[in-house]
Structure 1
Amino acid sequence: MVSARITPDWIAVDWGTSALRAFAMRGTAPIAEAVSAEGMASLAPDGFEPALLRLVGPWLGSGTTPVIACGMVGARQGWAEAPYRPVPCPPVAAGETLRLRARDPRLAVEIVPGLCQHAPADVMRGEETQIAGFLAGEPGFAGTLILPGTHSKHVRVAGGRVTGFTTWMTGELFALLATHSVLRLTLAPDGTDPAAFRHGVRQGLDGGGLAGLFALRAEALLAGLDPVAARARLSGLLIGAELAAQPPAQDCVVIGAEALARAYLDALAQAGIAARAIGAGALVCRGLALARNGGTT
């Protein structure tokens, strides 16, 4: 059986540190998706175009296909640095993309710039596109968007604009503590324990996050703390400390992968905030379509 050839109008690209995700787009709707492990961290600047071609080459015809990309592809270590747009501002703005001259004439590549905040200093790349996609569906939203991950973002939104944001290195701290600290001797490599996670969240919310870290090791030595429970408590401690340091607005939405979003919803509930969650996948395409089409989808 011969597969039907995919002929997109344009290609949406979400290029992160560790992965590259592309969507073949027809109008504002994705018709196919492709993923590779060739993220920014694994590529030199001259390696981005070949990596993109390896992934989307089957979608290209003889003409020129527009490619709208967001994320770490526009970082200083990426394909080309796309200058940040300072907040407060709409999350994306058509006409402010960085246009690249690709070697392959079939590609017309534009990179969506990230956002920056000068006081206190902070930056984001990629999340702005998800925020734009969310606001396209809920233009009147005013509150906090939490985008958890390696670096968790708390984004304040009002009037269709990002008014400020804060980055928490929660996911990266978890990985470092779990693999490069004394806690590596105590934690299971995977698994979860909801009760232990909630215990950790409560400690973090009550200000005991730092003190609770070494207690995991001590409890393992003295009382045989289960390694899966220790892993879940560490996650809860860090997320609880994040939420305690900057409580989000009561109108709060978590944007992210299902399991991580569920953990944040659980932690927010313990903090007395009834949040809701939405998946990030469709939002990226919608946000990139906004960047391409001048604010309309």
Structure 2
Amino acid sequence: MNTDWIAVDWGTSHLRVWAMQGAKVLGCAQSDKGMARIGADGFQTALLDLVENWLKDDPIDVIACGMVGARQGWVEAPYSTVPSQPLPHAPVRVPGTDPRIRAFVIPGLKQLSPPDVMRGEETQIAGFLGTRQNWDGVLCLPGTHTKWVQVSAGEIVSFRTLMTGELFDLLSAQSVLRHSIGEGWDENTFTDAVADTLSKPEQLAARLFGLRAADLLHNQDKGIARARLSGLLIGAELAATRPYWLGQQLAIIGADAVSRVYAAALKQQGAFVETANATEATLAGLALARNMTRQTA
């Protein structure tokens, strides 16, 4: 492959890499060597294990986003403070790398009040805005820690992080509900649960135990329980973020499956929502960051 550069999305639990020729993807690979699973001296080895066959004698640019830029990451890429453009500064060069690579890490963003941080999402937002001139509105980036981001005049004005995805994982796998949650899905159950917690968010804790009781007393289908748990948690999230999404232009940047779930919940509330693929947005943002390194290197 005639690889021009390598795009990297390096999160807490996973590492994903793409061989790039301009904006074209030539190949991809991934591993479970996220930041939480490797030591301080293991980042370069984890990367080379995936990209070795893409390298040449001359150094090739590696542009990375995500938790790889945290204090415990490969190199610390300090946060910029909002209001800010998604990529206000050129990525930080990683010192002392293998001579076949020139590695750069994109800084994250921070909000001082209320305190909040993001790493990786700023790259997706940059990629999204790069194809939509003068886009103003609110972005939802669903995941383990879902972000709601207010965008105006090309800047991230404010954002909020909600641990909805992590709560779902913990409740379904480690709480008493693990005995009652299984595979499957029911759309009507999900939308009813969203409406329930949107109208009565104070009842969330009781509704959650109701999932266990319905299993014990009525042998509730475990797929139904899964849809209801998701709906209860996302409904609580929408209740908390109502000022962000109510009456706003909305877009969801995420994996297709979770984006569909969030879009269904928002459309139920009368919101018009467009969706964008998270991988495409990430690659577009990494390409923009690469251009910044070429201008300053």
- Which residue pairs with 2:263 in the alignment? 265
Indicate the larger mover: 208-217 or 82-91. 208-217
Distance in 2 (CA, whole Å) between partners of 1:29 and 1:93 is 25
Indicate the larger mover: 204-213 or 59-68. 204-213
Aligned AA for 2:195? R
SS at match of 1:164: strand
- Which residue pairs with 1:276 in the alignment? 274
- Which residue pairs with 1:202 in the alignment? 195
- Which residue pairs with 1:179 in the alignment? 173
- Which residue pairs with 1:45 in the alignment? 40
- Which residue pairs with 2:249 in the alignment? 251
- Which residue pairs with 1:240 in the alignment? 235
Q: Does residue 64 in structure 1 map to residue 62 in structure 2?
A: no
| CA deviation string 1:120-143 (max 9, x = no partner) | 000000010000000001121111
Q: Are the aligned partners of 1:92 and 1:129 in contact in 2 as well (CA < 8 Å)?
A: yes
1:30 Cα offset (Å)? 2.3
Q: Does residue 192 in structure 1 map to residue 185 in structure 2?
A: yes
SS at match of 2:194: helix
Aligned AA for 1:278? A
- Which residue pairs with 1:293 in the alignment? 291
- Which residue pairs with 1:170 in the alignment? 164
The 1:100–1:74 alpha-carbon spacing in structure 2 relative to 1, beyond 3 Å, is same
SS at match of 2:165: helix
Unaligned runs of 5+ in 2: none
| CA deviation string 1:252-289 (max 9, x = no partner) | 00111111000001100122212121111111111111
Within 5 Å, give how 1:95-106 maps onto structure 2.
95=90, 97-106=91-100
TM-score (structure 1 length as normaliser): 0.94
Indicate the larger mover: 37-46 or 161-170. 37-46
- 4+ residue runs of structure 1 moved beyond 4 angstroms? none
Q: Are the aligned partners of 1:149 and 1:171 in contact in 2 as well (CA < 8 Å)?
A: yes
- Which residue pairs with 2:28 in the alignment? 33
SS at match of 1:214: helix
The 1:272–1:183 alpha-carbon spacing in structure 2 relative to 1, beyond 3 Å, is same
SS at match of 1:294: helix
Aligned AA for 1:288? L
Indicate the larger mover: 45-54 or 216-225. 216-225
Q: Are the aligned partners of 1:269 and 1:275 in contact in 2 as well (CA < 8 Å)?
A: yes
Distance in 1 (CA, whole Å) between partners of 2:67 and 2:293 is 22
RMSD across aligned positions (CA): 1.7
Q: Are the aligned partners of 1:45 and 1:80 in contact in 2 as well (CA < 8 Å)?
A: no
SS at match of 1:76: coil
Distance in 2 (CA, whole Å) between partners of 1:46 and 1:295 is 24
- Which residue pairs with 2:127 in the alignment? 133
1:10 Cα offset (Å)? 1.3
1:94 Cα offset (Å)? 4.5
Q: Are the aligned partners of 2:92 and 2:105 in contact in 1 as well (CA < 8 Å)?
A: yes
Percent of aligned pairs sharing the same letter: 51
Distance in 1 (CA, whole Å) between partners of 2:79 and 2:281 is 20
The 1:288–1:210 alpha-carbon spacing in structure 2 relative to 1, beyond 3 Å, is same
Q: Are the aligned partners of 2:253 and 2:281 in contact in 1 as well (CA < 8 Å)?
A: no
